[in-house]
Amino acid sequence: MTSEILVAGIGNIFLGDDGFGPEVIRHVPERITDPRVRVVDYGIRGMHLAYDLLDGCDALVLIDALPDRGAPGTVHVFEADHESLGAGVGLDAHAMDPAAVFAGLAALGGTPPYTVVIGCEVSDVDERMGLSPVVAAAVPDAVTAVEDVVARLITDARVG
């Protein structure tokens, strides 16, 4: 991988709000033009993301749907705790959640980069295309969060 920061959207667009990551990614490429940043919609291709991480990058910005904790549409930004994410998770080439991606990466002999997660609490993950109105309304805030996180990573010299 030639980029230093990988911005990865994950989620299933056929499961309502689970498609949050891919929807945010649709709006990010036009806003981030730094050649050290690679923006990719991985959808449900968890092993593809794990293989790309094997190529190495300085930082990963992971955009995903989060479980509803009582505030659907709320955007959270936090550093991933790789140890707790990977603990007890087996390798499943068809699973697409951060724990499965990092377990796949470990099974391939890789180590995860510094990772920031930008997620949105879901309203529903019913079988349908399209985000719920409350989660769709959070997409612009998530795009702004991606821009802010990427700018901070570049400024903080996480990128070579």
Q: Average pLDDT over the chain, rounded to whole?
A: 85
Instruction: Check whether 39 has a pLDDT greater than 50.
Output: yes
**Which SS3 state, helix, strand or coil, does residue 6 take?**
strand
CATH architecture of 5-155: 3-Layer(aba) Sandwich (3.40)
pTM value? 0.86
Q: What's the half-sphere exposure (Cβ side, CA atoms, 13 Å) at 39?
A: 20
Cα first-last separation, the chain: 13
C-alpha to C-alpha distance for 41 and 24, rounded to whole angstroms: 9
How sure is the predictor about 143, in pLDDT bands with cuts at 50, 70 and 90?
very high
3-state secondary structure 63-85: EEEECCCCCCCCEEEEECCHHHH
In the chain, where are the structural domains located? 5-155
Structure confidence by residue, pLDDT tens digits, 42-99: 998 878 888 888 888 899 999 999 999 999 999 999 998 766 544 444 433 434 567 7
